[in-house]
């Protein structure tokens, strides 16, 4: 059975998120986007408002007072908030992902200590720090040489770990009050045997955000450089098995749909681009009639909708497999690639229709182009995610009904 119907609760949450996106986020984010200083554009009032609506803690299990939302629901709400602004949606999406990780990769005692802290503070955002100045894709599509990968070190001293090193480009960097960080316990061993995950609060001595990056898009959320100078973390705040974090976190992010949620958010940008372009086409006159009445432009708008709907259904399918507890790992990577490419295509088509007017900063299209571009790289580059998915294409062996003798001969040059 194939069923695209949303549950009543999903419809309700979508409605709440849409009101928030249109009435609160759009008016504020478009102004914040133009603030030149990257550390001044974040709007805490938007976070407080969403938190009061229950949106901030959607992924926290019901036992701890959250919504217990699954990946499909988070994808739907994430896309809807991103319809208002991608940066604001990313602030929540990262928070949801790390909350889900805390809920699933921790023991009972850790959940009881960390989740109430997150629930009780309307401004508690979370961050996950993997990327470093010399290690990016190496962690997403692991390179297992001891010479590569994460260099931030974790040394065991008694019942504490001492962290030293640098992370960069981290979403919610400088904003997050709770941070999950990956560190290397032994630089002589391959990353698959020497990475550990830790959780800490932003007021831990030795931890600081030393730079907020000035970005092309997503200007309403911060991406920070995080410095760890002799940061002491007690043994009880290690997440999972020290040494095995790459496998544990990798499997977790795949099965719980990190890429799926990321892909969903960028589609919010594309939907916004479509909708304002439809309005423009139905109000702007050239050649004696509305732009929309020129068939080539009506066709353009229909194709924009087609591109984003097909990408959305791929996201929903992938989210659904995750919700069933049987994530389609290939689709989970590819749906983010598809969504980010589709979103860029949709915005580019919108640009064609808006022409010079869309290029002007006063008008809302150029921001969408800058925002959409971020997801070609964020949450893993599209190249690297595609490469990962290609490894899951499988084999077509001679006993497979799809096997073609003619192809075998052709491959042999016959």
Binding mask 338-377 for ligand FAD (x = CB under 6 A): ------------------------------------x--x
CA–CA separation, 275 and 194 (whole Å): 48
103, 131, 222, 271: which one binds ligand FAD (CB under 6 A): 131
Q: 176 or 365, CB closer to ligand FAD? A: 176
Q: Does 50 bind ligand FAD (CB under 6 A)?
A: no
Shortest Å, Cβ 157 to ligand FAD: 26
Query: Per rule CB under 6 A, is residue 41 in the interface with ligand FAD?
Result: no
* Span from 124-132, 153-161, 234-242, 401-409 in contact with ligand FAD (CB under 6 A): 124-132
Q: Identify which of residues 161 and 169 has a Cβ nearer to ligand FAD in the complex.
A: 169
Residue closer to ligand FAD by CB (options 75, 321) is 75
b/e map 227-254, b = 16+ CB within 10 Å: bbeebebeeebbbbebbebbbbbbebbb
| Closest distance to ligand FAD from the beta carbon of 297 (Å) | 32
Q: What mask, x for binding ligand FAD by CB under 6 A, covers residues 161 to 200?
A: --------xxx-----------------------------
Kindly tell me which residue out of 136, 148, 190, 206 binds ligand FAD, with binding defined by CB under 6 A: 136
* Interface map 213-232 toward ligand FAD (x if CB under 6 A): -----x----x---------
Report if residue 294 touches ligand FAD, rule: CB under 6 A.
no
Please tell me whether residue 129 binds ligand FAD under the rule CB under 6 A: yes
- Closest approach, Cβ 205 to ligand FAD, in A, equals 23
Query: Distance between CA 224 and CA 38 in Å, rounded?
Result: 10
Residue nearest to ligand FAD (CB): 136
Q: Which of residues 84-103 bind ligand FAD (CB under 6 A)?
A: 94
Nearer of residues 207 and 354 to ligand FAD, judged by Cβ = 207
Question: Is 144 among the residues that bind ligand FAD (CB under 6 A)?
Answer: no
Task: Please give the residue ranges that form the binding site for ligand FAD (CB under 6 A).
Answer: 94, 128-131, 136-137, 140-141, 169-171, 218, 223, 374, 377-378, 380-381, 383-384, 387
């Amino acid at each position: 059975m194939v069923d695209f119907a949303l549950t009543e609760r999903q419809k309700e949450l979508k409605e709440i998120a849409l009101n928030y996106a249109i009435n609160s986020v759009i008016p504020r984010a478009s102004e914040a986007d133009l603030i030149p200083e990257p550390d001044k554009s974040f709007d805490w009032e938007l976070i407080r408002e969403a938190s009061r609506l229950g949106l901030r803690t959607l992924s926290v299990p019901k036992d701890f007072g959250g919504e217990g939302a699954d990946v499909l629901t988070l994808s739907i709400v994430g896309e809807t908030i991103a319809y208002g602004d991608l940066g604001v949606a990313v602030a929540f999406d990262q928070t949801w992902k790390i909350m889900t990780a805390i809920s699933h990769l921790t023991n009972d005692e850790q959940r009881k200590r960390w989740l109430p802290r997150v629930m009780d503070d309307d401004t508690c955002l979370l961050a996950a720090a993997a990327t470093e100045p010399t290690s990016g894709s190496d962690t997403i599509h692991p390179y297992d040489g001891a010479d590569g990968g994460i260099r931030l070190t974790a040394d065991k001293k008694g019942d504490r770990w001492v962290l030293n090193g640098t992370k960069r480009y981290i979403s919610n960097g400088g904003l997050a009050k709770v941070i999950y960080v990956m560190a290397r316990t032994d630089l002589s061993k391959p990353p698959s045997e020497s990475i550990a995950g830790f959780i800490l609060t932003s007021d831990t001595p030795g931890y600081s955000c030393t730079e907020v990056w000035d970005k092309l898009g997503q200007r309403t959320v911060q991406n920070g450089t995080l410095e760890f100078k002799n940061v002491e973390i007690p043994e009880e705040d290690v997440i999972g098995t020290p040494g095995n974090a790459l496998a544990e976190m990798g499997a977790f992010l795949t099965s719980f749909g990190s890429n799926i949620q990321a892909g969903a958010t960028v589609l919010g940008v594309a939907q916004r681009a479509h909708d304002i372009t439809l309005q423009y086409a139905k109000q702007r006159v050239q050649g004696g009639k509305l732009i929309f009445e020129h068939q080539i432009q009506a066709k353009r708008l229909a194709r924009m909708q087609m591109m984003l709907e097909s990408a959305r259904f791929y996201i929903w399918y992938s989210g659904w497999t995750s919700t069933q507890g049987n994530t389609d790992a290939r689709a989970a990577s590819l749906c983010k690639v598809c969504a980010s490419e589709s979103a860029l295509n949709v915005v580019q088509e919108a640009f064609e229709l808006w022409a010079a007017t869309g290029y002007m900063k006063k008008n809302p299209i150029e921001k969408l182009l800058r925002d959409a571009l971020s997801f070609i790289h964020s949450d893993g580059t599209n190249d690297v995610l595609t490469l990962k998915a290609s490894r899951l294409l499988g084999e077509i062996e001679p006993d497979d009904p799809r096997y073609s003798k003619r192809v075998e001969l052709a491959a042999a040059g016959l």
